[in-house]
Structure formats: C-alpha cells, structure tokens
Chains A and B, each alone.
Chain A
C-alpha cells in the first residue's frame, strides 16, 4: 500500500521525486536514516565543541597572567558569550541528541524514528542555526552579552550592533530543531517499541531521553517567548525590555531561567542515561535499582522546573522566595545522590572491566559528585550572595557540564564507536587521552573554586596583580593545554580508527541491550527481524540463557511462547526514500534569519516562499523508498 501512494505522488507536477543516492555528498544532504543523522549530529557537535574550545583557550591565554591585553574587552565578551552559547546549544546538548538519534531506535527495536524526514529537518535546522550564529563573527561582531544575555544589556540602546540579533534569532531557530526532535523522540519511544519492550524494560538511556524530550517540550517555549520579545524590541521597537519605558528587566531572567534551569537537566539526563548503560555492561551486572533510577530521573525533571529562581538569589527576590527556591533546590540533591549510590552498587560485586568507556564513567561519578556538592552550596542563598557570578560558579557548572555531561558522552563515544563504525578505538591512545583529559580538567577547574572565593568575578578579561589570583589563574590556563592535548588525541584516534581500527564484531563489550544484537555498523534497516523482548537485558539473556531463571520478576509476566516468527524465511522491509525537502525547508529558514536580521524584506519574502514550497512538496512527495528482501537462515533464534 505504501508503494501505491508513492506512485500516485511521484507523478505530481512540480515536486521532486524522492532521491535514492546511497553514497556521495547528496546522500548526506537528503538522508532520513536515523543512524546517518545521528552521525551527522555527533560530528557537528564535535565540530562546535572544537570551536568552543578554541574560544575557551583564547580566554585562558588572556587570563593566564594579570593585567594582560592579548584580547580586548570587546573581543573577550564575544569569546565567552559564544563559548557558552556554543557549548550549551550547539555542542553538548546536540551530542546527547545525536546519541539518542542513533541508539534510541536500535535500543527499542525500531527501524527508524517515527518521523524520519522531520528528524532530518531537526538536524539541518540545528546545524544551519549554528552556522548562522557563527557567521556573526564576520557580519558585525558576535553576541557579547553572555550566554544568558540579561536584559537590558541586549536592548538596542545598550547594544546597537548585530551580535544580539544573531543570538536571539539563532537560538529561536535552533529551538525549532530541538523541539521537533524532542517530539519525534517521544512519539518513537511511546509507539515504536519492539514487542515485549514494556516501559519498565526500556534501557535507561531511552528512559532518560524520553524524560529529556518531555523537558524540552516544556522548557523551550518560555525561551522562545523571551527571545521573541527581544527580537520584537530590536526589530519593531516594542518596549518589553526597555527600562526607560518602565520595563522590568527581571522578566527576562524569569523567562530565561524557567527554560535555563531545565536545560541543565536536558543536558545532564542523557548523560545519566549513557552512564547507566556503560556501568552495567562493564560490570557484567544489571543496573542496580532500575525502577528507582527511572523514578529519580522523572523526579529530577519535575523538580527542575521548580527551581529556576535559584539563579536569581542576588536579584533581590526577598527572603521568603529565596528560602523556597533554596529548599526545592536542595531536594534535587536527594534523587541525584540516590543515582550515584545506585551506580556504585551496580559495580559492587561485579567483574568490572576498566576499558576506556568505564574509565570515563568512573571519572564521571567522582566529578559529578563534586559538581553536585558545589551545586548544593550555591543553592544556599547567603553563600550564593558571595559566590554568585564569580569563578566559583564557573568551576561549579563546568564540573557539572564538562565533568558530568562531557565525560559521560566521551564514555558513550568510546562505548558506541564500534557499533557505529564497526571498528574499535585504539585502547592505548584512549587511555592516554583519558589521563590527559581528566587531570587536565581538574587542573583547569579545581583552582577556579579558589579564585572565586578570593573574589574573582566571572566575565572579566583582566584582574589585578598580587591580590591572590595569579597562581590559580595560571594553573587554570596551564590545564587547557593538558586537556586540549587529550581531546586532540581522542579526535585523532577516531579518524585513525575509522580506517585502521581493529574490527569490532557485533558485540565487542558483551553488551546487554538490543543495539548489540545487530551488526556493526548496523544495516540501514537496523534488524533483520525485530526481536521479541522478554527482559531489560535481552541480548545479555540470549547469550547467557542459564540466567533466565534468575531474571527479574517482571519478566515472568511475559508470554514465553511468544518468540520470534521462526517459520518466516524471508522478510520484506520497507526502506523510506530520502528527501530534499527537510534540507530545503531548513535552508529557507536559515536564509530567512538573515532577512529578519538585516531587515531585508525581499530576502525574507523569498525565504518564506521557499519554505512554503518545501512544506507543500514535502507533504505531497509520498512515501517513496523501496523494499528490502532479506533471506533468513532457516533456524533463526533471534539476534546474536
């Protein structure tokens, strides 16, 4: 029936037929395969990670000694703003989404996300919005008001250049990509699970992505509203954030942080998910306290929306509000603490192999604990009154974001690289990278706690000599070389491994979840036969059937006779066709952003026209694609 619709649509006048390239650059522009898009996401976010690192490196160079002037204050403001924007919106969050794109369908036994073309659209919107924001460096200066861009520093009178427009429009557009991806993930996880994959059997990474996707749905609209207000102010002269007209600039902070605090968990929950996959695999034990881990994730997400004002303790909310937001912030420490103990309990009594992913997971546990503890300190308003907006805060959120999210994504990168490429990353270089990255990280960010306590505000491009800050800053700056070298080794070894890495085989780590049941790299249809799931660790139990007796009581409720269809000898899988329209639509939005920014009506109208055309043609281009016929071996027992 799918074919029938395709035939009807293919004849529609003025609409491109769905392309079928499998190689070459056009195949990457038109792909709708979740794995290829996942790779694109991961590569793009690494690219932005590199850019943000260069910015960080320049800042640390400037701050290495007191009273230096390598970088002017204006350029410094642009550097830290772009560093923050890039890391949050273009590097670390998309890295999690990239892993989700690749692995959520594989882990739940689906052949793709629910809306493959929408998925491609989400990626292209994200990538092009990143390009858009970065062109600001060449088109009148990058944004310079900090990653949270507090009003009224962003009003036209205080900041007349283009930079703020790039920030506002870029993030508005990027948010569209993030939102559609989140919706896609929700629909996929809820509707496309393999038979037997009940909610309480979802791999924890999938659970965390489901929670994250819901958080995105609720967190991004307030940001969109705030961005839209500033765009209106700057483009059409409205007065949302103009103090001279009586505006209350605090509104921006409320709207921003009701997005911005959940954003922290949008970044960190996928990281929790990765860690919850890596630790059981390398401990050869199931995740300890799975239901509690799920519930604490949900609880963290829920509470994440209740604590935004703890970023605003110094804005004069008053003692009652500060107390309320302080106590709710403390409460988040409880489920987080539970998670840490459960991860350690997973290792307890296991046979823990310290391959590179597990090294990173262990470093994550300690680093995230430290970052979480300074988080509790910052949730104490009187203490926050001293350390807010100092390097203590800088150290804290780098321990959480860098030490938490980045280290865990590196664990995920080493863990899943063989699945994505079919080749193992070199172990020796991996260890060397680890022993540069983690100590380098501590050398950069540990001294910053002290710099903060000694009164070093953040976002200053220079500081007075001889007031106790010299040594700490020098240590920080030196650390960037160490950590940077480690990152270079990771990237280098990835390129090397693509060609020369040891072949991984389907299941190099003795994995537990469904993605290890298919080949490495997986075929474009993911699975020959979508497997039947009877347990949280389906692949593990297939490999070790004698453990079935001891499995989780929940598994007992599943009908044991409902096994894969053994009589089928040939399966037919529909492979959706590729499409130009996600790319064309997002490119139209990209062009339109410039139209809005430069107040160019012609460019604006043109891009709206292209967008309408793309949507129209998208709607009509039909299902397309082809059917893949796969011969099964006579005795199919399922995967492995």
Chain B
C-alpha cells in the first residue's frame, strides 16, 4: 500500500495542477487532504473523474477551437459563399453517442463500488465507538450511549477505530460534515440516519453544518478530536468519574472547586445568573439544566467555545459569556448583563474561570489560571 499512500499524497497536487495552477489546497476543512478511509475513497473518485473530465474538456475544447479557427468566415471575399449544406451523418452520430456511453461506464463502475463500500448502513460491532449526534440550532450534542457521556461540539474518538454515528435533529435540518474524515450526511427530524468513519491519524479535524438552518448557520461548527486509545480512555474516565458520584460534596471533591476565590465566585454566579437553568453540568449534579442545551460537564477539557467559533481561552470564554450575540449573531444564549452593568466583565470572567476549571486536575488548573487560559491550543 505505500504506492497508494504516496499517490494519495501527490493526488491533491495533481488535482490542483489540473484545475488551476498555483492555488491553495490546504485548509482544515479541505476535502483534498483526507485522513479517513471514507474521505479517501471519495477523493479517489474525485481524482479519477477529474482526469476523465480533463480529457473530455480537452476533446470538446480542441474540436471547438479547431472549428472556430478553421471555419471562421473571412469577412472579405467569400462572405456570400455558401458552404456545403450537410444535414447529418449516421456514423458520426453513432460515434459521439458511444463516446459519452463509454465515459459514463468508466465513471459508473467505480462509483457503484464506492457507494457500497462507504454508504452502507453498518451494524455496530463491539469494537466500534457508538455516538448519537443531535443537531440543534446552532450546536451539536454528542452522546455516547454505551459510556453515559453527554457532551457538546467536540467529538472525541480514538484513532483507527470505526466510529458509528447515529444522526438526528432536534429542530430543523442540519448536516454533519467533517470533510477530512467522511462526507456529509443530513440530520433530519424523525429519520434515523447513520454515518460511519475511521480516522487514520491523530489530530483535530474541523466540521461544519452543511444544511441551511438559519440564524447562526455560518457559525455552526464543531471539532472531531482524534486521539490515541490511551488519551481517549482518559477522556472517557474523566467523565465517568464525575458522573458516578452521588452527593454534592463528593462531586466537588472529584471536580475540586478549590481554594481559588475566582473559581468559587464563578460557581456561585453560574447558579445565580441562571446558567444552570439551561446547561447541565455534572459538577452541580442531576436535576439542573435541560437536555436541549449544551451539557457543560468537563468544560475545561474543551478546545473551543461557541460551537467551534473561538478557541477556549479564558479571554474568549469571558467575551462569549458577556455578550454571546456579538460573537455569534442569532444564537439562543441570552445576554445576562445590562449594557451598563459595571460588574459584567468581572462576573463573566469569574464564570469563565469556573467553567475552565471543570475536568482539570488541581495542579493543571492552577497552572492554567496562572497563564490566563487552559488548553485552548492543545
């Protein structure tokens, strides 16, 4: 397979060279640099059809160009000359009926093969990671039914493992799309759609909602975080730890809201300002929040805020909490402070500090606060 791998590496360059010399193909959402089995299959089809297309365009443009230059009437001289009035030719018609037929067959065979390799509905196996994805205006809920994890906007998956996604929508149509891992699949209310993918390399891959869902559609982004098996297990355990605990005290012991005054204040404000009315958070235990809003459990482990719009730094998170509409117009998060509230920034900052502490061990947390952020650049 190294030949294939090498081919895949140069393939985007070929596509590029063929279509428009000197243009960029890199980008965090580029379909031309896949890192997953499904997306690779899709790119192979793109490359194959691009080659064919270049052939067809060269043929048509060549014949057309020749006709233009060879049969251009010279305005002088034979302006009134009448060319031979040819009405048609059966052999020619048969020829250029067969040409498209052959091209169509050349496209159809790999197409059908790839459809049945990448688009079949799979029965989840023991080894698969199963995730239930729900699209909301304008964020993503990721539930791991086997693990009891509920999180938002960042999907953690282990490398090299098949991930089976059940796709659903809570309101309008959305479409789940991580270009580097797999093509998109729509999320439709009352319809069970499935998408599966296998990521070849660790990394953070960008996704975007591909179906118009009004308002903040342009900001309905997410990340797929592909980690090693160990990192993934650690991430899973950090959720399971906070969820098994029953009492408030024990919960706080696991997710220590420590001596840091800012964090303590943030936790109080999180409750006072009504955040817990919408956002579930294992640190507060069950009974708070709603399943229809992002679950903030272990929020400190997130890389991004506002469904992938900003990096999850203390500064960005504060700005987001202070005035969500300025960052993501149309979203449903209320503005909690009056325009002229003198404490607004300070209080938002405290809530941000609290949220960033969730899921982070004591030492890490202190460190993070010291540098004014957490692992936004992780």
A interface residues with partner B (beta carbon < 8 Å): 72-74, 77, 144-146, 150, 152-153, 158-159, 243, 246-250, 283-286, 288-292, 314-316, 318-319, 322-323, 326-327, 330-331, 333-334, 336-338, 340-342, 344-345, 347-354, 362, 365-366, 369-370, 373-374, 376-377, 380-390, 446-447, 449-450, 453-457, 459-463, 467-469, 471-472, 544, 547, 550-552
Contact = CB atoms under 8 A, between A and B. Distances in A.
B68 A389 contact: no
Contacts of B118: 382, 385
Interface in B189-221: 189-191, 193-194, 206, 208-218
B82 A334 contact: no
Nearest to B110: A380
B60 A369 contact: yes
A450 B21 CA distance: 12
5 contacts: A73-B330, A322-B115, A380-B111, A386-B183, A454-B31
A326 B100 CA distance: 15
A352 B74 CA distance: 9
A153 B119 contact: no
Interface string B56-71: 1100110110011001
Contacts of B28: 455, 467
Nearest to B45: A383
Interface stretch (B91-99, B249-257, B337-345, B368-376): B91-99
Nearest to B99: A337
B64 A471 contact: no
Nearest to A376: B107
B114 interface: yes
B244 interface: no
A74 B330 contact: yes
Contact of A288 (B45, B86, B177): B86
Given A351-B81, A351-B82, A459-B217, 17 more contacts: A73-B214, A158-B172, A249-B173, A249-B188, A314-B183, A319-B115, A334-B100, A342-B93, A345-B92, A373-B56, A385-B42, A386-B43, A387-B31, A455-B179, A468-B26, A547-B85, A550-B85
Contact of B82 (A152, A354, A544): A544
Interface residues of B, number: 96
Contact of B31 (A291, A377, A453): A453
B185 A152 contact: no
Contact of A285 (B85, B114, B211): B85
A383 B88 contact: no
Contact of A383 (B46, B104, B208): B46
A330 B71 contact: no
Interface in B212-244: 212-218
Contacts of B206: 455, 467
B73 interface: yes
B19 interface: yes
A314 B175 contact: yes
Interface string B116-139: 101111000000000000000000
B39 interface: yes
Q: Which of A77, A158, A453, A463 is the most central at the interface, judged by chain B CB atoms within 10 Å of its CB?
A: A453
B32 A454 contact: yes
B3 interface: no
Nearest to A373: B53
A349 B213 contact: no
B188 A290 contact: no
Contacts of B92: 289, 341, 345
Contacts, number: 300
B212 A326 contact: no
B287 to A, nearest CB: 25
A249 B189 contact: yes
A341 B96 contact: yes
Nearest to B192: A316
Contacts of B211: 150, 389
A372 to B, nearest CB: 9
B27 A323 contact: no
Contact of B120 (A243, A319, A344, A376): A319
A340 B96 CA distance: 10
A389 B184 contact: yes
B49 A382 contact: no
A4 B68 CA distance: 59
A153 B172 contact: yes
B29 interface: yes
Contact of A382 (B83, B93, B101, B119): B119
Contacts of A316: 167, 185-186, 188, 191, 193-194
Contacts of A386: 31, 39, 42-43, 46, 179, 183-184
Given A386-B183, A450-B19, A349 B88 contact: no
Contacts of B60: 340, 344, 365-366, 369
Contact of A350 (B83, B116, B175, B186): B83
Contacts of B89: 288-289, 345
**Which 8 residue pairs across A and B have the least CB separation, nearest first?**
A385-B183, A455-B29, A468-B27, A337-B100, A243-B189, A460-B218, A351-B73, A316-B193
Nearest to A463: B218
A446 to B, nearest CB: 7
